[in-house]
């Protein structure tokens, strides 16, 4: 009887040790994943030709930002209708080009509803194609085109 109690205690201690080891391993893996996510930095395209105020079909495009984080590239801008007319442009393309004028990627800017005179709307356009950070982050030119 005494041996059975000692055996039960030993088995219980071994199970507790195994549970602790598994818990520590799982926790270490979770911490590694969180650290990898934290290390994924945001790269801003600061090229003047890309972020300068521009225009498309009499609409002003300003407050432009192009950010790359991991595999996601995001273009932010405000589109302003400074005309006296309602502008009914649902969408247009944002063509990013490299230093040689070659297309890197075309993003879609979606305005949706008509833009009234004096009205402003923020556009956010993103792409998660397998581009490298350098391709988008180093784009040197932007062109706005009809989609």
Q: What is the pLDDT of residues 49-104, one digit of tens each?
A: 888 999 999 999 999 998 888 778 888 999 999 999 999 988 899 988 888 888 88
Among 8-12, 80-84, 120-124, 134-138, which is the least confidently predicted range? 134-138
Distance between CA atoms of residues 143 and 146, nearest Å: 10
**Which one-letter DSSP state was computed for residue 84?**
S
74 bridge partner residues: 67, 126
pLDDT reported for residue 54:
92
- Range name among 36-40, 56-60, 139-143 with the lowest pLDDT average: 36-40
pTM for this one? 0.68
| 23 band by pLDDT with thresholds 50, 70 and 90 | confident
Torsion sign, CA atoms 12, 13, 19, 23: positive
The domain segmentation of the chain, as residue ranges, is 1-39, 42-145
Judge: domain 42-145, CATH 3.30.530.20. Answer: no
pLDDT at 111 over 80: yes
CA dist 30 and 40 (Å) reads 16
Predicted local confidence at residue 98, as pLDDT: 85
Which one, of 95, 88, 101, lies nearest residue 57 by Cα? 88
């Amino acid at each position: 009887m005494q041996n059975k109690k000692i055996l039960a205690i030993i088995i219980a201690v071994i199970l507790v040790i195994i549970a602790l080891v598994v818990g520590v391993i799982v926790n270490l893996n979770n911490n590694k994943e969180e650290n990898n996510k934290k290390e994924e930095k945001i790269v801003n395209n600061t090229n003047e030709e890309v972020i300068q105020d521009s225009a498309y079909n009499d609409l002003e495009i300003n407050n432009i930002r192009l950010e790359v984080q991991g595999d996601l590239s995001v273009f932010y801008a405000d589109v302003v209708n400074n005309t006296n007319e309602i502008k009914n442009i649902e969408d247009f393309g944002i063509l990013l080009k490299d230093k040689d004028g070659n297309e890197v990627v075309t993003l879609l800017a979606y305005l949706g509803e008509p833009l009234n005179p004096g009205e402003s709307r923020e556009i956010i356009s993103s792409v998660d194609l397998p581009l490298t950070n350098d391709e988008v982050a180093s784009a040197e030119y932007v062109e706005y085109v009809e989609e």
